[in-house]
Amino acid sequence: MAPGRRRIITFIHKEGLMSREPRSKFIFLMIVILFLIIFVGAIVTSASAAGKGDAEAGKKAYDAKCTMCHGTAGKGDGPAGASLNPKATNFTDKAKMTMAQRAQQ
């Protein structure tokens, strides 16, 4: 290798364009940015998926599993609800449902 060329390569690697410290900072910054993009994408995806529901499937599930105790209107007056202790929850009672939502959070 020619002596002049060796000086150029040494300059590029040690002092200039490819010095280790700025390159490692750049790589670290890119990793952090990539992590943030993935993290934000996961949050947005899960939030949008949680907002979607299938009302028809929910009604079928309620009719099959909940109406016996809670009744068709959700007032806790289903045929099996009278024999329960404590009584079946009235889903139309705003105060009780507010407490239930707070307990879930």
**Cβ neighbours, 10 Å, residue 88:** 20
Q: Mean pLDDT across the chain, nearest whole number?
A: 74
- Is this prediction's pTM over 0.85? no
**Cβ neighbours, 10 Å, residue 31:** 10
Q: What is the pLDDT of residue 5?
A: 56
The full length of the chain comes to: 105
Q: Are 82 and 70 in contact (CB under 8 A)?
A: no
Query: In the chain, how many H helices and how many E strands?
Result: 5, 0
Instruction: Write out the residue range of the structural domain in which residue 66 sits.
Output: 55-104
pLDDT digits 0-9 by tens, 31-63: 999 999 999 888 877 766 666 677 888 889 888
Q: What is the pLDDT of residue 72?
A: 85
**67 token code pair:** 């109406």
Higher pLDDT, 85 or 10: 85
Shared domain for 65 and 98, answered yes or no, is: yes
Q: Are 67 and 74 in contact (CB under 8 A)?
A: no
Shared domain for 69 and 43, answered yes or no, is: no
Domain count, the chain: 2
Higher pLDDT, 87 or 29: 29
